[in-house]
Amino acid sequence: MRHPLARILTAVLAVGLTTAAATDASRSGGGDNPRTQLAIIAPAAPGGGWDTFGREAQQALMTNGIVNAVRVRNVPGAAGTIGLTQFVQLAGRTDSLLVTGGVMVGGVILQDSDATLEDTTPIARLADDYNVLVVPANSPYQTLEEFLAAWREHPGMAIAGGSLGSIDHLLTGMLAEAAGIDPAQINYIAYSGGGEVVRSMISGSAVGAISGANDFDAQIEAGELRALGVSSATPVGELSTPTFIEQGVDVSMSNWRGLVAPPGIPDEVRDELIAIIAEMRETGEWRDTLERNNWTDEFMAGDEFARFLDAEIATTEDIIRELGQ
């Protein structure tokens, strides 16, 4: 369970967010119409994947006049669970959305979060991106097969990635299992962001690393890192690296991204929020966003998205159990 001080800090932050939301509502006639004003909460620091997703959505919504005014607010920390905990306290708010994704599913479990995604109102899953396994350019491992063979011999070799419970962490466990390695034996080194993961590779403090494809693009292009495999089920756009499946390893996983609303909103407001996001998805700006970020369009909304979330939570719980967490 979390330290009492952490609970106190979360409560204090939640009061601040609730007060800010109330101020927003007073300025927009109560916030009853999400097409008038919308707040998008990015549960991460500026510059990260969730922040990028929120700001790309903000641009597409406002440029096309789908929503009059959209603000993005950052509430970073603990794999998104600090933002989630604050967000569910906005029960009934009709002018707020939270950016979420696969990282948060694992974070909720490992952080023992009081709030879960089951406490929210699912709106839509919009995009997937994928992870890449990389090694330093001077690594002796030229192929995925060579890397996995060495990993089987030395299951404790350091593998770097994002926070515990992240897609990076879960995928590492899945790859280990597929390679015949007990996931509980892996030596996973968790970092708070892609930049730190890259530095761990360049410095030689980890043998391999798994993170988002966009985190490694510049270093792969510069010849500092070598990509051995990508986690998509099928080849993706500009990613020239072969998938794990193409190389005979039956592992795939996406880092999906989507939006949820607070609990307790009326059905008609949920339907309006779904309609807003569906309109955004059809814009040229959003299509450009997908291409620019190497994201794939994986739209599902409402009840379909809710069923997907239930399945993701169950799958993630199983993987984390195998990881011995």
Residues 263 and 121 placed together within one structural domain of the fold: yes
**Inter-residue contact 67 to 34 (CB < 8 Å):** yes
Round to whole Å and give the CA distance between 313 and 310.
5
How confident is the model at residue 18, as a pLDDT? 44
**Lowest mean pLDDT, pick from 27-36, 138-147, 174-183:** 27-36
Kindly state the DSSP code that residue 193 receives in the 8-state scheme: S
How confident is the model at residue 133, as a pLDDT? 97
Residues 115 and 259 placed together within one structural domain of the fold: yes
State mean pLDDT over 182-194.
Answer: 89
67 Cβ contact partners less than 8 Å away, ≥ 6 residues apart: 34, 35, 36, 37, 38, 61, 276
Neighbours of 221 (CB within 10 A): 9
**Inter-residue contact 178 to 229 (CB < 8 Å):** no
What is the pTM (predicted TM-score) of this model? 0.82
Residues 267 and 217 placed together within one structural domain of the fold: no
Q: What percent of the chain has pLDDT over 90?
A: 71
Domain span at 68: 4-128+255-322
CATH number for position 145: 3.40.190.10
Find where tokens 């097969």 sit: 145
For residue range 143-184, what is the model confidence (pLDDT) as tens digits?
A: 999 999 999 999 999 999 988 888 999 999 999 999 999 999
Task: With a cut of 50, say whether residue 27 has pLDDT above it.
Answer: no
CATH number for position 80: 3.40.190.150
Q: Would you state the structure tokens that stand for residue 146, as one six-digit string?
A: 């060579």
Residues 153 and 109 placed together within one structural domain of the fold: no
Residues 189 and 221 placed together within one structural domain of the fold: yes
How confident is the model at residue 163, as a pLDDT? 82
How confident is the model at residue 32, as a pLDDT? 64
For residue range 227-248, what is the model confidence (pLDDT) as tens digits?
A: 999 999 988 766 789 999 999 9
**Inter-residue contact 162 to 193 (CB < 8 Å):** yes
Residues 307 and 221 placed together within one structural domain of the fold: no
Residues 22 and 107 placed together within one structural domain of the fold: yes
Higher pLDDT, 22 or 147: 147
Round to whole Å and give the CA distance between 78 and 10.
11
Residues 116 and 162 placed together within one structural domain of the fold: no
Round to whole Å and give the CA distance between 125 and 100.
9
Kindly state the DSSP code that residue 243 receives in the 8-state scheme: B
- Residue 37 parent element (H or E): strand 37-42
How confident is the model at residue 10, as a pLDDT? 42
Residues 259 and 121 placed together within one structural domain of the fold: yes
Query: Of 215, 247, 279, which residue constitutes the final position of a domain?
Result: 247
Residues 223 and 261 placed together within one structural domain of the fold: no
Query: Of 247, 267, 286, which residue constitutes the final position of a domain?
Result: 247
Residue 35 Cα distances to 24, 29, 52, 63, 94, angstroms: 14, 12, 21, 13, 10
Residues 199 and 312 placed together within one structural domain of the fold: no
Query: Of 247, 264, 297, which residue constitutes the final position of a domain?
Result: 247
Domains in the chain: how many in total?
Answer: 2
Residues 154 and 223 placed together within one structural domain of the fold: yes
Task: With a cut of 90, say whether residue 19 has pLDDT above it.
Answer: no
